[in-house]
Amino acid sequence: MRTAQNVASCNAARGMGLRFWLLVSLSAAACGGRSGLDAGGPGPFAGGAGGARPTTAVASAGSGGSVSCEPGVLAKGLVNKQSGGAYALAVDETHVYFSLAGDDGAVLRVPKTGGAVEKLASHLQRPRHLSLAGDDVFVTEPMTGTVWRLPKNGAGGGAALATVPSFPEGVAVVGARVFWVTQGGGDPKLLAVASNGGAPAPLLHALHTPWALASQGDTLFVGNDGDGKVGPHIGRYDAQSASYATFPVAFEQNDLAADATWIYWTTNGEVARAHHDGSALDTLAADGAFFDGIAVAGDDVYWTERLMKGSPASGGVGRVWHVNLTTHARRVVAEHLAGPRRVAVDAHCVYWTTEDDGSVMKAAR
């Protein structure tokens, strides 16, 4: 269970400054002992200078496939003891945005077509959640209690939207407001602040170890791990009416995604979905050891499997999965991955991070 217990020892980091780089170009290390955070070296794009085809096995496109997406490694080697590996992930029309989730973490971006990795922010304390809206990236920094707004292009640095005496985790943008959940501080909450800044407003109190957050229209979905008194559950918050309802689930949720009808989630043991009110529960997969990120696009659902059941807890055994909800056909998109974490999708490609080797990869849908 993810609780404030595993971050309380770093509470002294609260209040540390954040330094920004104006599109400082990075290149990912192709081999050797470099951290991947150093400037210089070969380009990170698969097949380009210094690049190579990924050693992962990548399956052919399925029902959502498109020949316009070239499988490849967009960045690799972005990992060290302090920065951690590649974790959170989101995409827009031109770039992939991702975080390094260690104690000296960062937020970066790389073009979808390959090229230089650009650093948007550094010296962040465990940034594990981010969200995109307009020209900005919104990211939570749990160890300092801060919610940041970073320009996508790195120009002008960034701004702290809010700092709270607890540990912010999942973040989402609805309309002109940024929402996030907190752990610890004696009162886990859902809060919001205007996307251009202002005073943060607590919306829900006494949540039960909230972690993940997803949005669909004006509705926010809150993943609650439970706290020993209340079991795991998913909450539904209407940003217009401020109403809140919950439904129970079997396990703690690692990630959430939503469409107009369904809420989807991953746990350590299953991938599932239900209607927004919790009805029509449907298990999509139940044969893995650690399902993590999830993304949905139409009838296609993608998720990562960090470890396979029966495999040792080491890198190189992770997979990315796809299921089509119309045909119910399920396939492996990529395998032999080093700790895949989050996943995102656009019209042509599926993208994912691998934490253990600090990579960002893509394949055809």
What pLDDT, on a 0 to 100 scale, did the predictor assign at position 48? 31
Contact yes or no for 232/253 (Cβ under 8 A): yes
Residue 26 reports pLDDT greater than 50: no
CATH number at 4-364: 2.120.10.30
- What is the distance between the alpha carbons of residues 139 and 130, in angstroms, rounded to a whole number? 4
Q: Which of 213, 160, 207 is nearest to 185 (CA)?
A: 207
Regarding beta strands 290-297 and 244-248, do their DSSP bridges make them parallel or antiparallel, or are they unpaired?
Answer: unpaired
What is the value of pTM for the model shown?
0.83
Give residue 181's pLDDT band: very low, low, confident or very high (50, 70, 90). Answer: very high
Provide the token pair at 213: 């957050």
81-90, 168-177, 355-364, range with the lowest pLDDT = 81-90
Residue 318 reports pLDDT greater than 70: yes
Contact yes or no for 86/54 (Cβ under 8 A): no
Cβ count within 10 A of residue 308: 15
- What is the distance between the alpha carbons of residues 4 and 8, in angstroms, rounded to a whole number? 6
Give residue 310's pLDDT band: very low, low, confident or very high (50, 70, 90). Answer: low
- Dump pLDDT digits (tens) for 190-220: 999 999 999 999 999 999 999 999 999 999 9
